[in-house]
Amino acid sequence: MSVASTEGETLALAFDDNRLASELFGQFDQHLAILESKLDIEATARGNEVTIRGTEEGCAQARLALQHLYARLKKGHRIERADVDGAIRMARAKDRQLSLPTIERPQSVAQIATRKRSVEARSPTQNTYIRALEANEMVFGVGPAGTGKTFLAVAFAAQCLERGLVDRIILSRPAVEAGERLGFLPGDMKEKVDPYLRPLYDALYEMMPADKVDRGLQTGVIEVAPLAFMRGRTLSNAVAILDEAQNTTAMQMKMFLTRLGENARMVVTGDPSQIDLPNGVPSGLKEALRILKGVDGIAQVHFRGEDVVRHELVARIVAAYDSDTKKQEDGE
């Protein structure tokens, strides 16, 4: 890829592979259209070249995003709308210490890879989160829905299992709607808690072949462990994930965290703004974040509304709710 620019607000990029350049620009240049709408630039493609016009900042961000996406294509990955959105989000990040990958620097953004697929960080906070998962035995991923905190936790667990770093994956989630008393529901234990663990299963099936997931569930390599039934256990050689942790009581949270055994990792995810506990019952997640802040070996990663990687409308919904909550707290 070659780069040539004139002074001011025009930037020309040329990519060395015509086929990949076509994929980069998208069908009917739809990927360039996304760049135009989000970065307030104009992008015109001819063959394997694209000319970008706009502010100096917008042109620079578009260049970073396109170089990042082209580097993905060169590694054999496909590009989807979410990848373009993620590249733009990373390029617009204020923290310039995080550099997007280019052809010359192909591995600057954190990623999780299994045999089935690989995922890269799509926001600076996701990048921090993945690095924290790699470096710490216990990680809290906290923030609004749609930021990828649960999906990345499960992806990390699948990666550890495939690489032989652990022997099993343990999935847990408080079943608040049933008051943790699941006995009246039909079926065996797995069938009782399946409705509450569906998002974790979905992530597993995205990262691992379906037959391996099914076999793992049958053999116990992948275990469904309702929070209420974890007391007295020691979780060793495993990645244990506690999802929707904002709905744990203080006692339940302490019980879960103290299950950590040898060669084990724990990931706790939740959204403190969506607590479903009865009125007056404090959230174990909030308490744990306060008590464990600064403890060696424990990382806390806080996602915000701008880290939402679902539909962009979700990010606006989260921002609106956050704004309303702040107004109420300020007494307006």
pLDDT beyond 70 at 254: yes
pLDDT grade, residue 178 (50/70/90)? very low
Closest CA to 167 of 257, 261, 299: 261
Given this model, what pLDDT does residue 122 score? 85
Given this model, what pLDDT does residue 42 score? 92
Given this model, what pLDDT does residue 179 score? 43
What's the average model confidence in pLDDT over 78-102?
A: 72
Q: What is the CA radius of gyration of the chain?
A: 22
193-229: string of b/e by CB count within 10 Å (b at 16+)?
beebbebbbebbbbbbeeebbeebbeeebbbbbbbbe
What's the average model confidence in pLDDT over 99-127?
A: 76
pLDDT beyond 90 at 255: yes
User: Where is pLDDT greater, at 92 or 281?
Assistant: 281
Q: Could you tell me the domains of the chain?
A: 2-109 (3.30.1370.10), 112-329 (3.40.50.300)
Residue 254's φ and ψ, nearest 5 degrees, are: -60, -40
* Cβ within 8 Å of residue 7, ≥6 positions away: none
Q: Taking the model in full, what pTM does it have? A: 0.73
Given this model, what pLDDT does residue 87 score? 85
What's the average model confidence in pLDDT over 324-332?
A: 67
Whether residue 287 contacts residue 301, with contact meaning beta carbons closer than 8 Å, is answered with: no
